[in-house]
Structure 1
Amino acid sequence: MTNKSTGTVFLGGPFKGIVDPATGEMDKRYRCRFEALIDRLDSEGYVVHNAHRRESWGAAFLTPEECTRLDFDEISASDVFVAFPGAPASPGTHVEIGWASALGKPIVFLLEQDAEYALLVRGLHTVANVTVITVEDDDLELAEQVSLAVREAVSGVTA
């Protein structure tokens, strides 16, 4: 066995809009979802890039210049881009979606059941490699579904 990681994943989604400005804390429901996904992927040997964790779940936001450069560089270095686009739409996540698709990264969308998404998000599969996972409120299998989708996407990546 080598010391090489299983692969690299960028996990994105709404951030600033789900942090309470009074407390500086990220909404616990979303934080738990992100932590469960990060923990699962970490445990399988993936290197996981995530702004939420990097910026202490909202307690230590970086400057626009810092977070833009880091997110772009980390998406560029990742094998797979996984994201909750946000409903309502997360502007930052939509920029990241554009970067990932322009960079030719496989994309795994985590879409809330019954939510409305931008037409370009719903149609992105026509111009990019997109896998869609429908997320339900208390979906205990989400981490397993994401793990499988990431594994399939990484196995299609040539070194």
Structure 2
Amino acid sequence: MRSVFLAGPFMGLVNPETNSMPSAEQLPFLTLIEHFEKQGLEVYNAHRREAWGAQVLAPEQCTPLDQLEIRKADVFVAIPGIPPSPGTHVEIGWASAFDKPVVLLLEAGREEEYGFLVRGLGSVATVEFVHYTDVGRATPQIDAAIRRVVDRVNNPAGTP
């Protein structure tokens, strides 16, 4: 595995006065980007690419770019968002349609707040769910989920 696409709520979190996501909202993404890059993975992430809201691309630019990067990535990891992030949900759909291994990070104790299609995605796609309270503390579980989901895609039905 060489690359990961990291998705999550973005434009709805950008403060229109500062044109930036608040630091607290950036932290889970920064934590995961650093964690994955320390493992030598290339990380595709719109938040960083668009300077956390300071350099937002036009919809006609970011939409095909996100889709291309999801196609190129070896695994797709997302925080779907509560309330749901419309853009992230589109990206989750693309990843599952492209048969990408998917890891969804769900806030522990709030699972019922996620949409039925998110919670049921494992019935039509190769998905692992990680329930977390702190993304930084959940990185071992995230890594294990990535290994499991990638292994299931690479070795369907336990083929050698």
Q: Percent identity?
A: 51
The superposition leaves residues 84-103 of structure 1 with CA deviations (integer Å, 9 ceiling, x where unpaired) of: 11111100000001100000
The TM-score with structure 1 as length reference comes to: 0.89
Match of 1:153 in 2: 149
Which of the two has greater helix per residue? 2
Distance in 2, Cα, partners of 1:143 & 1:31: 16
Q: Summarize the alignment of residues 45-124 of structure 1 with structure 2, pairs less than 5 Å apart.
A: 45-115=40-110, 116-124=113-121
What amino acid does structure 2 have at the position aligned with 1:9? Answer: V
Give me the whole-angstrom Cα distance separating, in 1, the residues matched to 2:88 and 2:148: 23
Aligned positions, number: 152
2:26 is aligned, of 31, 35, 40, to: 31
CA distance in 2, matches of 1:85, 1:108: 10
Please give the alpha-carbon distance, in whole angstroms, between the structure 1 residues aligned to 2:68 and 2:15: 28
Please tell me the residue identity of whatever aligns with 2:126. Answer: N
**Aligned-residue CA RMSD in angstroms?**
1.5
* Residue 16 of structure 2: aligned partner: 21
Report the residue type matching 1:151 in the other structure. R
Q: Is residue 7–residue 154 contact of structure 1 (8 Å, CA) maintained in 2?
A: no
Aligned to 1:149, what secondary structure does the other structure show? helix
Over 6 Å off, 4+ runs: none
TM-score of the superposed pair, with normalisation by structure 2: 0.89
Unaligned runs of 5+ in 2: 155-160
